[in-house]
């Protein structure tokens, strides 16, 4: 953001003003996205953010930003990382607390990648309660492991452009070759059945109790994440309206 408003181009100013006017009538929302790798959270999250004027809080990004900005919590997080330790739950909740005070989070937030455990969920609830707020909805991107395996292990990437293909859903014209440049496609190291299996095991063990925790509070909306993106978007809109 330019320090002086006079230096901001008029079109950008007007666009931002119109956006804020539109957002002022939107209800506040605090939403958690839960789902295994490849479930489609990344596709839906920008749409939710724009539709409901929320800020997107991804814990990994926030930790890196706090470390870079050298905030007191960021310094503590950096110390933990340099020792090869996991950043404590209290630190992460503190960093979320800090991030929530930004102007872009006025109407609420989408939390992605947190909480991963019931203890984290409890600490988050305590922190929000101190501010007089609470989580409004937990969107559970429910999908079978078999479908995920097909989705993820079929992904091929063209490294220099970022174009992605899928052997079944969006195949290249020539197998293993980028349509535009004719260069070879690669598969990400994480996009193998073995890596996916261990990530899914961790997800089921750690995060399913979190879904259970919020289900007891009546906050969970179960989405059919195996459906095409547009249909999932319609389910998201319904759950949040």
pLDDT tens column, 27-82: 999 999 999 988 989 889 999 999 999 999 988 888 888 889 998 988 998 898 88
CA distance 109 to 54: 5
What SS3 class is residue 55? strand
Series of mean pLDDT values for 10-residue runs along the chain (241 residues): 76 89 90 92 90 90 87 89 85 90 91 92 97 96 93 90 87 95 91 88 91 97 94 96 88
Q: Is 30 a catalytic residue?
A: no
Give the active site residue among 30, 76, 151, 155. Answer: 155
Q: Which of 30, 76, 116, 151 is catalytic?
A: 116
Q: Name which of 117, 92, 199 is nearest 81 in CA terms.
A: 92
Q: How many helices (H) and strands (E) does the chain have?
A: 9, 7
Q: Exposed, middle or buried, 131 (CB in 10 Å: 0-12/13-18/19+)? A: exposed
Is residue 20 among the annotated active site residues? no
CB of 51 closer than 8 Å to CB of 27: no
pLDDT value at position 1?
46
The pLDDT score that the predictor gives to residue 81 is 83
pLDDT at 63: 85
Phi-psi label, residue 40: left if phi above 0, alpha if psi -120 to 50, beta otherwise? left
Residue 62: the pLDDT is: 85
Spot the catalytic one: 29, 41, 76, 151.
41
- What per-residue confidence (pLDDT) applies to 3? 59
Catalytic (active site) residue 151 = no
Q: Is 101 a catalytic residue?
A: no
């Amino acid at each position: 953001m330019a320090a002086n408003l006079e230096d901001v181009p008029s079109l950008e100013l007007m666009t931002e003003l119109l956006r804020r006017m539109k957002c002022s009538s939107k209800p506040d929302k605090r939403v958690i996205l839960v789902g295994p790798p490849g479930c489609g959270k990344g596709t839906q999250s920008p749409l939710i953010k724009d539709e409901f004027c929320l800020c997107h809080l991804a814990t990994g990004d926030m930790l890196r930003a706090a470390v870079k900005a050298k905030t007191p919590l960021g310094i503590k997080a950096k110390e933990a990382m340099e020792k090869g330790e996991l950043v404590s739950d209290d630190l992460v909740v503190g960093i979320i607390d800090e991030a929530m005070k930004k102007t872009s989070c006025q109407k609420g937030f989408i939390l992605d990648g947190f909480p991963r455990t019931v203890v984290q969920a409890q600490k988050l609830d305590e922190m929000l309660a101190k501010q007089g707020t609470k989580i409004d909805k937990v969107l559970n991107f429910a999908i079978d492991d078999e479908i995920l395996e097909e989705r993820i292990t079929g992904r091929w990437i063209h490294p220099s452009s970022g174009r992605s293909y899928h052997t079944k859903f969006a195949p290249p014209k020539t197998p293993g070759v980028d349509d535009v440049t004719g260069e070879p496609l690669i598969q990400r190291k994480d996009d193998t059945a073995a890596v996916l299996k261990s990530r899914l095991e961790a997800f089921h063990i750690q995060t399913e109790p979190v879904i259970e925790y919020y289900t007891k509070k009546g906050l969970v909306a179960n989405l059919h994440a195996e459906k095409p993106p547009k249909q999932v978007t319609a389910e998201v809109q319904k759950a949040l309206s």
